[in-house]
Amino acid sequence: MKMHGWGRYPEVDAEVFTPQTKREVQELLGRLQGQGVTPRGLGRSYGDSSLGDRMLSTRWMNHLLSFDPESGVLYAEAAVSLQEILQTFVPKGWFLPVTPGTQFVTVGGAIASDVHGKNHHVAGCFCDHVEYLDLITGPDTILRCSPVENPELFHATCGGMGLTGIVYAAAIRLKPVTSAYIDQTTHKASNLREILELFAVHEAEPYSVAWIDCISTGSSLGRSLLMTGDHTRQEKLTVKAGSGLSLPVDMPSALLNRHTIRAFNTLYYHRIRERVVRSHTHYGPFFYPLDSIGDWNRMYGGNGFTQYQFVVPKAAGYPAMKAILETIAGSGKGSFLAVLKAFGKQNRNLLSFPMEGYTLALDFKIEPELFPLLDRLDSMVLDYGGRIYLTKDARMSEATFRRCYPVWEQFQAIREANGLKGRFTSLQSKRTGLD
């Protein structure tokens, strides 16, 4: 079966298994002894972390198992999506403690990527709100892992890209809310220095994220729109249906060029006419603006795209971002959607992406001349002490990976001690030297 991630690059021929219970997962692992298996949820990681020769889809293990209305702890199977959690619990006054930019990811995928959101500076990553998880590591073994029970395996699994086993279920602490709506404030920044200053001024805001023009130059380099927000007090706890809009075909790749990107970015930036604009919006468009367009990944053409996301330490913030943005703008390969966020302190999870600093994510259509640019950006990120996000990655080298994640040897030692190396694998793990 032809399979790919959300970026539609690369594509592989794979054998796909769809067990429906944890017992079936264990039986499958028994039959495939000595053969690597790649866990997969909804396939929304961008690159090749959920691709392999033999892929184990958890899609049918999607049941809500229990909920404690006093503590807000939800125990759910790994293939439950964030959308399903929101649809069920927002009307009851509960929200996700951390959510990425799409609700179409599974609990297991959120754990494997240790996803972050617009509130990392105050709430950390998704796994910082996981009480415990149940991990299938072999045909006869299910281990409960938490910060106090099998802690080494817990911290390797959180952010471990599925290489430590199959997450069967997890207990997550939801957060209470009184409304499904967000009070949003948009701040207009003329350049990179202004947007970084705005992040500092508004660091106490519960949610913050910026759209950044990655193709402007000169005095307008890094011009941005910072959106901050918080849950509205005492309003309807309603979940809205999607728009039903979808891209039915692949868009012509030639439509994405420096001229169309520059025109779009100029219009998007100038649609906000005042320095500060306040608005009131449902959580859907605030957290998940692209989820309203089905198959939006077709916008980049038949060859697919890659999302390049990196983080640099706070101390290197301005010089690093300035140099990297100048390189991107000079290449002419900017993005319609470029997102800048401020991160808080990193957690204990070995391969978790965030560190205290600034992260930039942007999309590039796949074309031959793109890869030398990304190699150059890798070198710049590393020189500034940063790292690249595994969940978005489709081409990082082994050497780059090891510099990004210097505790990789500790991660490998945990896998080897538990008999997991070679049992759980992916295209990404092979490319980065973990298998």
Asked if residues 309 and 381 have their Cβ atoms less than 8 Å apart, the reply is no
The two beta strands, 130-138 and 15-17, are unpaired
Q: Compute φ and ψ for 246, nearest 5 degrees.
A: -155, 150
CA 114 to chain centre: 8
SS (H, E, C) 284-328: HHHHCHHHHEECHHHHHCCCCEEEEEEEEEHHHHHHHHHHHHHHH
* Residues 359/115, Cβ–Cβ less than 8 Å: no
**DSSP strand pairing (141-145 vs 175-176):** unpaired
Q: How many CB atoms lie within 10 A of CB 34?
A: 6
DSSP state of 329: H
Nearest Cα residue to 287 out of 227, 340, 363, 203: 227
Q: What residue segments make up the domains of the chain, in order of their start? A: 181-396
What is the C-alpha to C-alpha distance for residues 435 and 425, in angstroms, rounded to an integer?
7
Lay out the sheet containing 305-313: strands in order across: 276-282, 181-189, 224-231, 207-212, 338-343, 357-365, 305-313, 387-388
Q: What is residue 57's predicted lDDT score, i.e. its pLDDT? A: 96
- pLDDT number for residue 258: 84
Structure tokens at 296: 């939006």
Instruction: Please name the fold of domain 181-396.
Output: Alpha-Beta Plaits (3.30.70)
The pLDDT score that the predictor gives to residue 243 is 67
Alpha-carbon distance 430 to 165, whole Å?
Answer: 16
Spatial distance between the Cα atoms of 96 and 123, rounded to a whole number of angstroms = 11
What predicted TM-score, i.e. pTM, was given to this entire model? 0.97
CB atoms < 10 A from the CB of 402, how many?
Answer: 14
Tens-digit pLDDT string for the chain (435 aa) = 999 999 999 999 999 999 999 999 999 999 998 899 999 999 999 999 999 999 999 999 999 999 999 999 999 999 999 999 999 999 999 999 999 999 999 999 999 999 999 999 999 999 999 999 999 999 999 999 999 999 999 999 999 999 999 999 999 999 999 999 999 999 999 999 999 999 999 999 999 999 999 999 999 999 999 999 999 987 799 898 776 788 888 888 777 888 888 888 899 999 999 999 999 999 999 999 999 999 999 988 999 999 999 999 999 999 999 999 999 999 988 787 899 999 999 999 999 999 999 999 999 999 999 999 999 999 999 999 999 999 999 999 999 999 999 999 999 999 999 999 999 999 999 999 999
Tokens standing for residue 374: 């990304």
DSSP structure string for 156-186? HHTTSTTTT-EEEEEEEE-EE-S-SEEEEEE
Among 287, 237, 281, residue whose Cα is nearest residue 83: 287
Dihedral angle sign, alpha carbons of residues 374, 375, 376, 378: positive
Rounded to whole angstroms, how far apart are CA atoms 187 and 102? 23
Six-digit token pair at 220? 């307008």
